[in-house]
Amino acid sequence: MRRLLLLLPFLLMSCTSSEPPVEAGIQSRSFGTLPDGRDVTIYKVTSPTGMVMEVTNYGGIITRLTAPDRDGKFDDIVLGYDNLEGYLEETPYFGAIIGRYGNRIARGQFTLDGETYTLAQNNGENHLHGGIQGFDKVLWNAEPFSMGNEYGIVFTYESPDGEEGYPGTLSARVTYLLTADNRVIFSYQATTDKATPVNLTQHSYFNLAGPSSDSILDHELMLAADHFTPIDAGLIPTGEIRAVTGTPFDFTTATPIGERINADDEQIAFGLGYDHNWVVSDMTSSMRLAARVHEPTSGRVMEVLTEEPGIQFYAGNFLDGTITGKGGNVYEYRSGFCLETQHFPDSPNQSTFPSTILRPGETYQTRTIYAFTTDAD
């Protein structure tokens, strides 16, 4: 009898759930080789709830991330390619770790401690996302790990002094953890031997409806931000921190992305839609909610929590149907969005923005969480 009582919770669990039990864990397989012959690995991380994250040590790229809809059906919700070759070409940074500097640095130049540094100009005259061979295009060292029934990967990369024009040897460490409550936790760390700007982020593109060429304009977005940083025609911040009230940039209450994306507004014109940095609530470095996205047909909800002061909301304005991605899916105009947690763009040239300079002896440390639920939870 006592034995039956002990077994009861398990018997009940197996009776109430129609899904086969999920085995949480981590598996690896080859993802091909780089042109220089180095092997690339892909890791498949499964959570106890059945979420799957596939991630490669090339660029720390998340190639697949599944999340349940309101009926418990899992779908892949990130954009990307079927194979390594796709990622080796010039890509819009699908799924990758971005560094040393997420977003733009004007004219690829900045002055630090009296010395002027010149970086790669890979976006018109500006420097974007770390340059020509940023952290999205390097092979990281990867170590899988587990914490109880939760699994993840630690990525490390030593960026040599002078890489893409940046000063100092930067030792970067980025951890991805897939939790038992459907969260992906990103922990970023870096140290340097010379002062250098650092602004690491993650560049996954989402379409919460699942694999689809449809636009993300019906997704409803909330941004916990009363201000944003206006830009010029080259997408460089002007230095102003502007209130969102009364503008198409007010997402303090959930609003469909498409509702005002074509508004007659100078900032919308400069960004070709939304491609701006919002100032997250009080600019503290505590972990707090920055964004919430709801996709009405699937019911999927994604929340972004971060310790960063800013978040770039990019509505996929440069996707134009020329990229064929996973499963032959064509990435049409605005069919994916990014929410990139970050320090503000061009901070090395903007003395009023929070500093992005890391000095020897200091440790750069920041965390961001993508949390997945549904409107039925």
Binding residues (CB under 6 A) for ligand BGC: these are 92-93, 235, 275, 312, 314, 318, 338, 340
How far, in Å, CA of 273 to CA of 161, rounded?
Answer: 37
- Neighbouring C-beta atoms of residue 267, cutoff 10 Å: 17
Residue whose C-beta lies closest to ligand BGC:
92
- Least Cβ distance, residue 275 to ligand BGC (angstroms): 5
DSSP 86: H
In degrees and rounded to multiples of 5, residue 77 shows phi and psi of -115, 10
Q: In terms of DSSP bridges, do strands 310-314 and 338-342 run parallel, antiparallel, or are they unpaired?
A: antiparallel
Q: In terms of CB distance, is 314 or 331 closer to ligand BGC?
A: 314
151 and 26 Cβ atoms separated by less than 8 Å? yes
The rounded Cα 321 to chain-centroid distance in angstroms is: 22
Cβ-count burial of 86 within 10 angstroms (0-12 exposed, 13-18 middle, 19+ buried)? Answer: middle
Q: In terms of CB distance, is 49 or 347 closer to ligand BGC?
A: 347
144 and 28 Cβ atoms separated by less than 8 Å? yes
Q: In terms of CB distance, is 7 or 272 closer to ligand BGC?
A: 272
Closest C-alpha to 272, from 326, 315, 313, 211: 315
Catalytic residues: 203, 340
Residue 100: is the preceding peptide bond cis (ω within 30°)?
A: yes
How far, in Å, CA of 168 to CA of 362, rounded?
Answer: 13
Closest C-alpha to 133, from 94, 88, 174: 88
- Least Cβ distance, residue 100 to ligand BGC (angstroms): 15
Cβ-count burial of 239 within 10 angstroms (0-12 exposed, 13-18 middle, 19+ buried)? Answer: middle
Task: Locate 248 and state its tokens.
Answer: 């198409």
- Least Cβ distance, residue 29 to ligand BGC (angstroms): 28
- Least Cβ distance, residue 101 to ligand BGC (angstroms): 11
Q: In terms of CB distance, is 207 or 312 closer to ligand BGC?
A: 312
Q: In terms of CB distance, is 178 or 338 closer to ligand BGC?
A: 338
- Least Cβ distance, residue 6 to ligand BGC (angstroms): 53
- Least Cβ distance, residue 226 to ligand BGC (angstroms): 21
Q: In terms of CB distance, is 74 or 333 closer to ligand BGC?
A: 333
